[in-house]
Amino acid sequence: MAEGITFRRARTPAEDADVLRLREAVYVRDQERLTDTAQTADTFDKFDARAYYLLAYAGSEAIGTIKIVPDSPAGLPCEDVADIGRLRSAGHRLVEFGHLMTLPGVRNRKVGMRLMREALVHSVRTHQVTCIMGDFFTDDGEGRLRDFYTGIGFVPVHGPYLDPRFTGAPLSMVAALDVPEAVRLCKELGAEGNAVLRYFFQDFDEYARGSSEYADIPAGTGRG
């Protein structure tokens, strides 16, 4: 899966520029959901002081990215539309994943799945996350969470709704992944579980004990 692909956190101006180039290629030119990447400054990027990006590279070319937003007193991006108070009340340690995207030419190489796993492993190791939030596009025309996300264990918590920040996009849905529950289910089902669930969680006990190569900032302070 994703042979020859390397992953790293965006730390330099050149890597930050790679993130913007990916947005331009995907959101503006390919999907035509934005007219200009500058549109994101006051919306998607308002949490960037605490967020960071992981990038996937094929050689020197950036081919995909995912954004990780640790919880903080400022909250999470999904709270602009969703009430996640019950998750906070349950004592969850939260992060939000967003802007998972890959270039059109590599979408059959499962780079997006690998980026999601890299973000998961990092969040478990660095933030001891127990719940991952996401604000995802639904299946076109059906308004349901895509099979990829439900296979990992995400469940809807808000929506579907129309996100006014995008032009001509499918409906969106806020969803939550209970990490301990996904791990429990993966162990319970074993080889009978779906392949996506096993890919993300069958070695959870091993990777949870490690340290993240991407972690050079403090973990989020949380709000609970």
Over residues 4-15, the pLDDT tens digits come to 899 999 999 999
Over residues 212-221, the pLDDT tens digits come to 777 654 333 3
User: Would you say residue 162 has pLDDT above 60?
Assistant: yes
Q: Is 111 within the bounds of a domain?
A: yes
**CATH number of the domain residue 56 falls in:** 3.40.630.30
Burial of 192 from C-beta contacts in 10 A (0-12 / 13-18 / 19+): exposed
For residue 55, what pLDDT is reported?
96
User: Would you say residue 159 has pLDDT above 60?
Assistant: yes
Number of domains in the chain: 1
Q: Is 212 within the bounds of a domain?
A: no
Q: Do residues 206 and 36 lie in contact, with contact meaning Cβ atoms separated by under 8 Å?
A: no
Over residues 37-50, the pLDDT tens digits come to 666 666 667 788 88
User: Would you say residue 147 has pLDDT above 90?
Assistant: no
Which bin fits 206, alpha (ψ -120 to 50), beta or left (φ > 0)? alpha
Q: Is 118 within the bounds of a domain?
A: yes
Average pLDDT over residues 58-66: 94
Domain of residue 103 covers 5-207
Question: What number of CA atoms fall less than 13 Å from residue 111's CA on the CB side?
Answer: 25
Q: Do residues 55 and 8 lie in contact, with contact meaning Cβ atoms separated by under 8 Å?
A: yes
Predicted structure pTM score: 0.87
